[in-house]
């Protein structure tokens, strides 16, 4: 059985797209990841795709889409829903069928990074490292045997993980 995981962000153009690709790659068939946004930009940020490509993480078929797709009756039933940006965490989310376990894993928005191309690339790489570290910890959890309270606590702790890298 594969666990279904939805990563949410406001624009669904960078962080949630990278998280989806990372979990689908790192999850080794144990997870099926999806991503969506409350106000999708309609296109994936080119640096998100470039960052994934440089890390050899497949991202074919990535697209910016609304979270409404996943609240529809015929949508895959989610086991987990993670918000990866502050805005989506504070918005009123749709009611997800099946009552998935939720957590907030906030990551700074690399698409909002200004400066030179090098500084922008660094912001995307930093976001991906942070997401990858959290996803790696998540994939190591004994999901079949953890009691719901312990699982929720573990997911919250993963969300507090810092990269300890200077900005």
Catalytic one among 71, 93, 133, 137? 93
pLDDT digits (tens, 9 = 90+) for 155-167: 999 998 865 554 4
What are the two backbone dihedrals, phi and then psi, of residue 108, each rounded to the nearest 5 degrees?
-55, 140
Average pLDDT, the chain: 90
- Is it the case that residue 142 has pLDDT exceeding 70? yes
> What are the start-end ranges of the H helices in 27-160?
46-54, 68-71, 86-90, 117-140, 148-159
The verdict on whether 93 is a catalytic residue reads: yes
Catalytic one among 9, 17, 84, 107? 9
Crossing angle for the helix pair 148-159 and 117-140, nearest 10 degrees?
Answer: 160
d(CA 36, CA 102): 15
The verdict on whether 85 is a catalytic residue reads: yes
pLDDT digits (tens, 9 = 90+) for 28-44: 889 999 999 989 999 99
Pick the CATH number of 3-159 from 3.30.565.10, 3.30.70.20, 3.40.50.2020, 3.40.50.2300: 3.40.50.2300
Catalytic one among 21, 59, 84, 85? 85
pLDDT of the residue at 167: 43
Query: Which tokens in the block code for residue 109?
Result: 């928005």
What are the two backbone dihedrals, phi and then psi, of residue 87, each rounded to the nearest 5 degrees?
-65, -45
pLDDT of the residue at 166: 47
Q: Where are the domains of the chain?
A: 3-159
What is the value of pTM for the model shown? 0.92
């Amino acid at each position: 059985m594969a666990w279904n995981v939805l990563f949410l962000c406001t624009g669904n153009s960078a962080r949630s797209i990278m998280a989806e690709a990372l979990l689908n790659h790192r999850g080794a068939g144990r997870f099926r990841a999806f991503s969506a946004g409350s106000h999708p930009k309609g296109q994936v940020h080119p640096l998100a795709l470039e960052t994934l490509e440089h890390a050899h993480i497949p991202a074919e078929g990535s697209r910016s889409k609304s979270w409404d797709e996943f609240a529809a009756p015929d949508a895959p039933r989610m086991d987990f829903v993670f918000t990866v940006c502050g805005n989506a965490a504070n918005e009123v989310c749709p009611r997800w069928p099946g009552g998935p376990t939720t957590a907030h894993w906030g990551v700074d928005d690399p698409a909002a990074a200004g400066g030179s191309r090098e500084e922008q690339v660094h912001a995307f790489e930093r976001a991906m490292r942070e997401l990858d570290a959290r996803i790696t910890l998540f994939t190591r959890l004994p999901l079949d045997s953890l009691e719901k309270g312990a699982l929720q606590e573990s997911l919250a702790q993963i969300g507090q993980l810092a990269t300890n890298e200077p900005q």
